[in-house]
Amino acid sequence: MLRTHTCGELRESNCNEQVTLCGWVQRSRDKGGLMWTDLRDRYGITQLSFEEGSTPAEVLETARKLGREFVVKATGTVVERYSKNDNIPTGGIEIKVESLEILNGSKVPPFIIEDDTDGGEELRMKYRYLDLRRNEVRSKLQLRSKLAMAVRNYLAEQDFIEVETPVLIKSTPEGARDFVVPSRMNQGEFYALPQSPQTFKQLLMVSGFDRYFQIVKCFRDEDLRADRQPEFTQIDCEMSFVNQEDILNTFEGMTRHMFSAVRGVELGDFPHMTYADAMRKYGNDKPDIRFGMEFVELNELAQNKGFSIFDQAELVVGICAEGCAEYTRKQLDALTDFVKRPQIGAKGLVYVKCNADGTFKSSVDKFYSEEDLKAWADKAGAKAGDLILVLSGTANETRKQMSELRLHMGKELGLRDKNTFQPLWVIDFPLLEWDEETERFHAMHHPFTSPKAEDMALLDTDPGKVRANAYDLVINGVEIGGGSIRIHDRATQQLMFKHLGFTEEEAKAQFGFLMDAFEYGAPPHGGIAFGFDRLCAMFGGSDSIRDYIAFPKNTSGRDVMIDSPSTIDEAQLKELGINLR
């Protein structure tokens, strides 16, 4: 080792020891006769001190040459500081330097490498290796490492085997666009990068591995948002001889372990809610149940009273915002503007104030009597002092809009505390989803998900009604993981492909290998995958997964540091048999 200690290690108990430290120059202060330099490494900061008269002249001369981010090796004696710095663990001591070696110089960095930096996002991404020197950034990746370790410990303990699956594969149908890689040896043919290892993990079950996991990169060529990256990481798992309940229990256990090992949080219950209930009560398949504000359907009470907008609506639905009856005109207008934003698309917002004196005031007083409004309030469980907000229209759209309004109100009322974690299993997802654009049914999860046995008969008569053995783990309104019990026989898998509009030949060409495997003793199996980047972000209390990825891509899918994607030269193209013109 070039050093005896790290820059975060020394304390007053080390006084008088001879030590050697290595690190980066954070900054220097030169007061003429006295000079101090903060030396930084991943473990902390230690102050070096130099003094005219007592420090050897050539050491002082070298010290005066140090610039920000120079890499140095300093040897000296640990001494107690005159004025201590209580903000850092090494603040009681400094090193009286006796010899100093510059291991490497540094150009002036393009931004300040401290917690508070002057560097903008784009600049920091271009010099990500410097950005990663900052505590704040590095600590996020340390959290990621800890979380991965907790996952591995738990799953190894439960007899899971970690298996790597290939990266150059053929298309997997998770519903997104594939990234493709041209094959030089098979010109005109392409590999696809896996959207997930789905078919491979199922094949490992056919192979008798029984319990598989992998912390694995997956690739989806989608338009990017703050919480999406073209390459992202999943904790991918599969188990044999299990039913849905077994999987939910196993991964409730894993989630509990992660929270307790990494955050010191003991999670409460993991309630189960059907997809149908989630949509009806919260208008959302990943409801944030840290707070109530459940939907109340008001059709029966609000229709046929002369208010044509409600009369024509498929759904009239309200939520009760506790203690908001005093909202001002301005606040109510802001809420109306919020739901009318094009992203939400409501036409208007009706309110009912349940006044403290027991009277009611609404924006539709013309059509409804006090008794009418009282009946709404009773149904909504609203007390004096509460505010009821009502939307109407076609059922699906109105539920979506109300879900946005509910989340907005939850935030406004401080009901979405970042340090409270409320898990929820959403179960019984529909097997199929109608796609207006292609006028076809798509698999809501993926084509390998098994329908519920009791709904099988509906496949021919009312396919949209068939429920799947599929589940999502939601925490605080964020989808953390999802999976299903799989189909494990050829006939059902073939039937599923037929319903998804595949011809027999197409199904065979794409997934023949899986259906063949099902004919050689495939065990019943099921699994789940967790979005690892998103989990990290949730543990770190952040909305963006990008912070938790060492070298992320920007929203145009570019890595601005290595400048990728980029063109390749003619010779490479020729070798691949690709002609761009």
Count of alpha carbons within 13 Å of 246, Cβ hemisphere only?
Answer: 14
Query: Which stretch in 52-60, 266-274, 284-292, 521-529 sits in contact with ligand ASP by CB under 6 A?
Result: 521-529
The residue among 247 and 313 lying less far from ligand ASP, judged by its C-beta, is 247
Query: Which stretch in 138-146, 513-521, 522-530, 539-547 sits in contact with ligand ASP by CB under 6 A?
Result: 522-530
Given 155, 402, 529, 545, the residue binding ligand ASP (CB under 6 A): 529
Task: Write down the least CB distance from residue 196 to ligand ASP, Å.
Answer: 3
Going by DSSP bridges, is the β-strand pair 93-104/44-51 parallel, antiparallel, or unpaired? parallel
Position 362 contacts ligand ASP (CB under 6 A):
no
> Is 3 annotated as contributing to ligand binding?
no
Scanning residues 424 to 463, which ones bind ligand ASP (CB under 6 A)? none
Position 194 contacts ligand ASP (CB under 6 A):
no
Query: Which stretch in 62-70, 302-310, 482-490, 503-511 sits in contact with ligand ASP by CB under 6 A?
Result: 482-490
Closest CA to 322 of 237, 406, 252: 406
User: Is residue 350 within a helix (H) or strand (E), and if so which, with residue range?
Assistant: strand 350-354
Position 485 contacts ligand ASP (CB under 6 A):
no
**Binding track, positions 121-160, relative to ligand ASP; x by CB under 6 A:** ----------------------------------------
> Cα(430)–Cα(392) distance, rounded to whole angstroms?
25
Position 484 contacts ligand ASP (CB under 6 A):
yes
The residue among 202 and 401 lying less far from ligand ASP, judged by its C-beta, is 202
> Cα(475)–Cα(407) distance, rounded to whole angstroms?
14
Scanning residues 391 to 420, which ones bind ligand ASP (CB under 6 A)? none
DSSP 8-state secondary structure symbol assigned to residue 98: E
Task: Write down the least CB distance from residue 213 to ligand ASP, Å.
Answer: 11
> Cα(572)–Cα(18) distance, rounded to whole angstroms?
57
Structure tokens at 291: 């707070």
The residue among 92 and 481 lying less far from ligand ASP, judged by its C-beta, is 481
> Cα(438)–Cα(465) distance, rounded to whole angstroms?
19
Position 214 contacts ligand ASP (CB under 6 A):
no
Going by DSSP bridges, is the β-strand pair 423-427/272-274 parallel, antiparallel, or unpaired? parallel
> Cα(257)–Cα(152) distance, rounded to whole angstroms?
11
> Cα(519)–Cα(330) distance, rounded to whole angstroms?
66
Structure tokens at 490: 């050829």
Going by DSSP bridges, is the β-strand pair 478-485/432-435 parallel, antiparallel, or unpaired? unpaired
Position 482 contacts ligand ASP (CB under 6 A):
yes
Given 230, 477, 527, 552, the residue binding ligand ASP (CB under 6 A): 527
CB 121 within 8 A of CB 546: no
Task: Write down the least CB distance from residue 525 to ligand ASP, Å.
Answer: 10
Scanning residues 159 to 178, which ones bind ligand ASP (CB under 6 A)? 174
> Cα(419)–Cα(415) distance, rounded to whole angstroms?
11
From residue 32, alpha-carbon distances to 50, 76, 247, 407 in Å are 10, 20, 68, 59
Residues in binding contact with ligand ASP, number by CB under 6 A: 9
> Cα(578)–Cα(581) distance, rounded to whole angstroms?
9
Task: Write down the least CB distance from residue 38 to ligand ASP, Å.
Answer: 46
> Cα(167)–Cα(197) distance, rounded to whole angstroms?
9
446 C-beta neighbours (distance < 10 Å), count: 20
Burial tier of 397 (Cβ tally within 10 Å: 0-12, 13-18, 19+): middle
> Is 486 annotated as contributing to ligand binding?
yes
Closest CA to 38 of 76, 91, 112, 109: 91
Given 55, 90, 198, 403, the residue binding ligand ASP (CB under 6 A): 198
Position 483 contacts ligand ASP (CB under 6 A):
yes
> Is 229 annotated as contributing to ligand binding?
yes
Task: Write down the least CB distance from residue 173 to ligand ASP, Å.
Answer: 10
Q: Which residues contact 536 (CB under 8 A, 6 or more apart)?
A: 140, 143, 144, 147, 545, 548
The residue among 398 and 484 lying less far from ligand ASP, judged by its C-beta, is 484
The residue among 44 and 482 lying less far from ligand ASP, judged by its C-beta, is 482
Position 196 contacts ligand ASP (CB under 6 A):
yes
**Known binding site: residues?**
174, 220-222, 229, 445, 479, 486, 531-534
Give the residue numbers of the binding site for L-aspartate: 174, 220, 445, 486
Annotated binding site for ATP: 220-222, 229, 479, 531-534
Residues that bind ligand ASP (CB under 6 A): 174, 196, 198, 482-484, 527-529
